[in-house]
Amino acid sequence: MKFLKQFFTWWSGQTLGTRVFTWRKGEFVGQDETGNKYYRAKSALPDSIPERRWVIYKGYSEASQIPSGWHGWMHHRIDTPPSQQGYKPREWEKPHQENLTGTAAAYHPPGSIAVGGKPQERKADYQAWKPE
């Protein structure tokens, strides 16, 4: 079943084309704490970026699953992957949280009809300017 999914789906792991490209040209760079695997390969175009970088997600393919250290490497903001430099998040960085939009755990503001609330009454939050 897993092999058939590679032909028809892209959202549940890697496709067959990605698997073949990774096998032929990919160099394993590292793995994050959630199990996503990161690869790179020399670019075929001489005047483009020096290398291609990609991730093979563990489970559902969702870009918000990439932690901040790996995000910088994926987008060519840093050259050394976090697995080789001993990356530690800064004290102001929050721990990674998935995109919860469309799930039962999504944020709903107070009064949202999505959770059965009633809209709050509107209050004037400003006073119009009147010339003297």
Cβ-contact 61, 11 below 8 angstroms:
yes
Q: Is 68 helix (H, G, I), strand (E, B) or coil?
A: helix
Residue 111 falls inside a structural domain: no
pLDDT band at 6 (very low <50, low <70, confident <90, very high): low
Distance of CA 128 to the CA centre of its chain: 44
What are the tens digits of pLDDT across the range 42-89?
877 777 778 888 898 887 777 878 888 888 888 888 888 888 877 777
What are the tens digits of pLDDT across the range 104-121?
888 888 778 877 777 777
Domains contained in the chain, number: 1
In the predicted model, is pLDDT for residue 11 greater than 60?
no
Q: Give phi and psi for 47, each to the nearest 5.
A: -100, 5
Amino acid identity of 60? Y
Residue that wins the pLDDT comparison between 41 and 123: 41
DSSP letter for each residue of 53-81: EEEE-SSS--GGGS-HHHHHHHTTS-SS-
Domain hosting 80: range is 2-86
Distance CA 19, CA 32 (A): 19
Q: Which residues pair with 30 in a beta bridge?
A: 38
Cβ-contact 104, 67 below 8 angstroms:
no
Cβ-contact 41, 26 below 8 angstroms:
yes
Q: Tell me the mean pLDDT in the region 19-27.
A: 82
Residue 72 falls inside a structural domain: yes
Average pLDDT, the chain: 80
In the predicted model, is pLDDT for residue 39 greater than 90?
yes
Residue 92 falls inside a structural domain: no
Distance CA 89, CA 86 (A): 10
Residue 47 falls inside a structural domain: yes
In the predicted model, is pLDDT for residue 131 greater than 60?
yes
